[in-house]
């Protein structure tokens, strides 16, 4: 993912300067954020809707025609910034919800509650809930990286992304929490951490 504005403010000037051509007039320019989930055999390129945001309507249609040959559905964004921000929203939705379930894991452990049973029960609700699983932080090829570029928004007056920043703090603490829990469990079973 790239910060919103990258296509128009970074890529466009580079392409225009390097080619002597004008984007939107001499060539088509659009953003289509990645939506791949490596290893997922259910949701592949062909059946995952592709978001397209062009510099002009013609740019959008040109990109839509290209991607329409590769995927079942093309979703047209208003422009490149909206397409770029779509990826930011998707990534941080996961990031924040992973942080929530990681905090719930710590709380449930402290209260003696089986979080896995809680998740199993909660995911039976047919609306308003999407299950996430706790772990030693955030995995995947996007979530651990994408929130790193968001501090530019937190420095923009009036636009702090406090929830994303807090999610980053929570998820950054999880590896040490998991290591501590593993050490405790090993000790409870009379095993040394060394060689375990």
| Tens-place pLDDT, residues 74-120 | 999 999 999 999 998 999 899 999 999 999 999 999 999 999 999 99
Identify whether the C-beta of residue 53 lies closer than 8 Å to the C-beta of residue 24: no
* Full strand arrangement of the beta sheet holding 30-31: 30-31, 50-54, 74-76
- CATH class of the region 6-82: alpha beta
Q: In the beta sheet, which residues pair with residue 23?
A: 27
The secondary element (H helix, E strand) that includes residue 97 is helix 80-111
Identify whether the C-beta of residue 101 lies closer than 8 Å to the C-beta of residue 77: no
For residue 154, the model assigns a pLDDT of: 46
Q: Where are the domains of the chain?
A: 6-82, 92-188
| Position with higher pLDDT, 22 vs 136 | 22
CA distance 37 to 61: 25
For 92-188, the fitting CATH number among 3.30.70.1350, 3.40.630.40, 1.20.120.550, 1.10.1040.10 is 1.10.1040.10
CB atoms within 10 A of CB 160: 13
Q: Mean pLDDT across the stretch 64-73? A: 96
Q: pTM of the full predicted structure? A: 0.81
Write b or e for each residue in 51-79: b if 16 or more Cβ atoms lie within 10 A of its Cβ, otherwise e. bbbbbeeebbbbbbeebeeebeebebbeb
For 22-68, what is each residue's pLDDT tens digit?
999 999 999 999 998 888 899 988 999 999 999 999 999 999 999 99
Q: Output the average pLDDT for the chain.
A: 89
Identify whether the C-beta of residue 60 lies closer than 8 Å to the C-beta of residue 28: no
């Amino acid at each position: 993912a790239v910060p919103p504005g990258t296509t128009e403010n970074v890529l466009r000037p580079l392409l225009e300067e390097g080619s002597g051509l004008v984007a939107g007039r001499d060539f088509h320019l659009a953003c289509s954020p990645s939506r791949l989930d490596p290893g997922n055999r259910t949701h592949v390129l062909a059946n995952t809707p592709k978001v397209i945001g062009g510099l002009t309507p013609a740019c959008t249609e040109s990109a839509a025609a290209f991607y329409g040959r590769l995927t079942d559905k093309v979703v047209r964004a208003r422009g490149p910034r909206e397409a770029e921000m779509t990826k930011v929203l998707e990534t941080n939705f996961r990031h924040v919800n992973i942080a929530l379930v990681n905090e719930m894991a710590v709380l449930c452990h402290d209260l003696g509650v089986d979080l896995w049973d809680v998740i199993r029960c909660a995911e039976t609700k047919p609306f308003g809930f999407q299950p996430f699983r706790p772990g030693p932080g955030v995995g995947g090829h996007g979530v651990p990286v994408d929130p790193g570029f968001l501090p530019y928004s937190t420095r923009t007056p009036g636009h702090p992304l406090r929830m994303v920043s807090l999610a980053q703090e929570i998820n950054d603490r999880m590896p040490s929490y998991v290591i501590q829990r593993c050490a405790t469990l090993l000790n409870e079973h009379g095993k040394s951490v060394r060689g375990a």
